[in-house]
Amino acid sequence: MNNITTKRFVIRKSLIGTNTVITFTSKKQETFTYDHDEIYSTFQEKFESMKCFQEYKSYTNSNTVPAFARSLADIHKDM
């Protein structure tokens, strides 16, 4: 299992099938941890239909985990 710490939520074609767990902390000091492959496989059709995913081979969000994927992420609020 690979662990990556980033500054944003990311789903990348290059990480598909690499068994990667990603952790990032938002500007509101919320820490999100998620299984990249689980989110990609659950929402594959959604990602593949996004223009950014087709063009840049990735989807990012610097503020939070997208609402559609939150149920698959662990969320911790640092106070």
> SS3 string of 25-49?
ECCCCEEEEEEHHHHHHHCHHHHHH
Query: For 7-40, how does the pLDDT look when each residue is reduced to its tens digit (9 = 90+)?
Result: 999 999 999 999 999 999 988 889 999 999 999 9
Query: For 49-70, how does the pLDDT look when each residue is reduced to its tens digit (9 = 90+)?
Result: 999 999 999 999 999 999 999 9
Neighbouring-strand partners of residue 12: 58
Looking at the chain, the number of H-run helices and the number of E-run strands are 3, 6
Global pTM?
Answer: 0.90
Query: SS3 of 8, please?
Result: coil
